[in-house]
Every structure is written in C-alpha cells, then in structure tokens.
Amino acid sequence: MNKNLIKQAQQLQTRLQNMQEELADLLVEGSSGGGAVKITMTGKQHVQSVEISKDAADDIEMLQDLISAAVNDASSKSQDLANEKLNSITGGMNIPGMM
C-alpha cells in the first residue's frame, strides 16, 4: 500500500472516532400520542429522559403502547442522525461494517 492511502485511512478512522464522540452528545426526541409520551435519546441510542403526561398514565395498556412507539420514534431519529453524520464523513460511500 502506498503511504498516501494509509494516511487517508488513518484520517478516516480519526473522523469516525470523533463522530462517535459527537453522537454521544447529540440528542433527538421521539414522541407518541401527540406528545403524551416523549423520549429523549442520544445519537448513540442511550435514553436520557422519559416524559409521560398525567393523562397517558390512566390507561396502563395504552401507556405501554405509547412508550414503545416513542422509543421506536427516537431510535429511528437517532439512527438517521448517525447515518447523516457517517455520510458526511464518507461522502455517501458504503463501507462494510459501518452502521
């Protein structure tokens, strides 16, 4: 391999590590039931907070469904954010093993 290619690979690795650190600090919010349940999640898909309106707490089965939907919404947004960040680094090039 030529030295330029190795240097480019190292730079890409550094940018990917920086992206991972940045994702840990970025937040997305998922919600369901018109905002009755809100989930705040990092770009690395760690739940930071859960907000539940008092009205949603009256029906346990509905609340369970709303929580699931809000988590799924936040997770989808988190994945979209990570993919957006990755594409900005790789220029949209599909790299095996990446997200």
pTM of the model: 0.76
Residue at 97 is within a domain:
no
CATH number at residue 59: 3.30.1310.10
Query: 53 by DSSP, 3-state: which?
Result: coil
pLDDT at residue 16, as a whole number? 85
d(CA 82, CA 99): 8
- Beta strands (DSSP E) in 1-88 are 27-32, 37-42, 47-52
Q: How confident is the model at residue 73, as a pLDDT?
A: 97
Q: Which residue has the tokens 């990570």?
A: 82
Domain membership of residue 36 (yes or no) is: yes
Q: Has residue 61 been placed in a domain?
A: yes
Q: With residue 71 as reference, give the H or E element that holds it.
A: helix 60-90
How many domains is the chain partitioned into structurally?
1
Indicate the average pLDDT of the chain.
88
Is it the case that residue 93 has pLDDT exceeding 80?
no
- Dmax over CA atoms of the chain, in Å, equals 65
